[in-house]
Structure 1
Amino acid sequence: MTGTDALLTAAGSAEPAEGLRAVRSLRTLADRLETLQVERARRLGWSWQQIADCLGVTRQAVHKKYGKSDKVVR
């Protein structure tokens, strides 16, 4: 079983504390992956609109979250 599989199993736990900790960990992982992919897309010349379309959010939302961040390479 991988770490991700263990987190998914724990997220469905009947024990709320275990499930909520797993949900928090999954959210952190998803946020890190999103940042990584936004950085890659921007380095490859993607527009904010292209990124927003893939994430299912508005261009304004993605730009607000990443546009002024030093994390995202332009």
Structure 2
Amino acid sequence: MDEGIRTAVDSEDHGGPLAELRRLTEGQRELARSQTAEVRRARANGYSWQAIASALEISKQAAHKKYGRV
């Protein structure tokens, strides 16, 4: 298919795979915002990086690297 035609068709992809990809991407953003907020709340309530990492199923180092500045 010609690239120009494909782009025009893709912009009208209501309910198709591109629309689903957009929906999933927004879901990932919302999940990331929610996780950051909960990590902040956990730290404010005195939970250790090890406890937070365990809940996230990642290493303590990875948790601190990702959320250490929140």
What TM-score range do you get, normalising by the shorter chain?
0.7 to 0.9
TM-score by length of 2: 0.76
Task: Give 1 or 2 for the bigger CA radius of gyration.
Answer: 2
Q: What 5-or-longer segments of structure 1 have no aligned partner?
A: 1-12
* Structure 1 match to 2:40: 39
Tell me how many residue pairs correspond in the alignment: 57
Q: What 5-or-longer segments of structure 2 have no aligned partner?
A: 1-13
* Structure 1 match to 2:59: 58
**Offset at residue 14 of structure 1 (A):** 6.3
Q: How does 1:1-74 map to 2 (within 5 A)?
A: 15-67=16-68, 69=69, 72=70
Alignment partners' CA distance in 2, 1:43 and 1:25: 27
User: Identical aligned pairs, as a percentage?
Assistant: 42
TM-score by length of 1: 0.72
| Structure 1 segments of 4+ aligned residues over 6 angstroms from their partners | none
Cα RMSD of the aligned pairs, angstroms, is 1.5
